[in-house]
Amino acid sequence: MTRIFGLLVSALVFLSACAPPPPETAVGPNGEPLPQVYRIRSGDTAEIQYRMLDAVNALRQAAGRPAVQLNAQLNAAAATHSRDMSVQNRPWHFGSDGSSPIDRVRRVGYAGELVGENISETYETELETLTAWMAEPSTKQVIMAPDARQMGFSWEQERNGKIWWTLVMGK
């Protein structure tokens, strides 16, 4: 048994030495790595939404706040607004038709109450965006709202890689 285990370990060491080297990171004139475009594939929606939900709930738990759950209606309101911001080419809380966040959650049939909405125009990942939101008192307040119980999260990614993120909290 020990001999078989030793052979397996030796084989794994040999195979790991055969792995291709990691890709080289392009470096800018300042010596810093150039940013990589974060591409979201169409099949990544649930994975990204649950990764964000887990991160938000970890932050909320650490602050003694109750967990939130994803809500399909709030996800729809967030997706609609992300697409609309992309069309308007500006990050703001009003839709091209003059709609407010409250209007959008009502349109999708959300029976609860809007707690708040965070938006972002960036090339960063969802977790980098969450970090930026947590660094800003007004957007952190939405994420950490004690009365929030449900969350919607969605985005629109343009061909150039720019992402329009929207997070909606409800109760």
CA dist 118 → 128, 139, 140, 154 (Å): 14, 6, 9, 11
Is 21 part of any domain?
no
What is the pLDDT confidence band of residue 54, given thresholds at 50, 70 and 90? Answer: very high
Residues 68 and 148 sit within 8 Å (Cβ to Cβ): yes
Is 95 part of any domain?
yes
What is the pLDDT confidence band of residue 40, given thresholds at 50, 70 and 90? Answer: confident
- For residue 25, the model assigns a pLDDT of 62
134: CATH: 3.40.33.10
Residue 140 burial (CB count, 10 A): 16
Total-model pTM: 0.79
Is 2 part of any domain?
no
Its domain, for residue 84, covers 52-170
pLDDT tens digits for range 106-143: 999 999 999 999 999 999 999 999 999 999 999 999 99
- For residue 35, the model assigns a pLDDT of 66
Is 37 part of any domain?
no
Is 58 part of any domain?
yes
Residue 94 in tokens: 């009003």
Is 6 part of any domain?
no
**Mean pLDDT comparison of 23-37, 84-98, 130-144, highest-scoring range:** 130-144
Is 66 part of any domain?
yes
What is the pLDDT confidence band of residue 17, given thresholds at 50, 70 and 90? Answer: very low
Is 33 part of any domain?
no
Instruction: Examine the pLDDT at 19 and tell me if it is beyond 70.
Output: no
Count of the separate structural domains present in the chain? 1
Residues 21 and 104 sit within 8 Å (Cβ to Cβ): no
- For residue 86, the model assigns a pLDDT of 96
Higher pLDDT, 19 or 122: 122
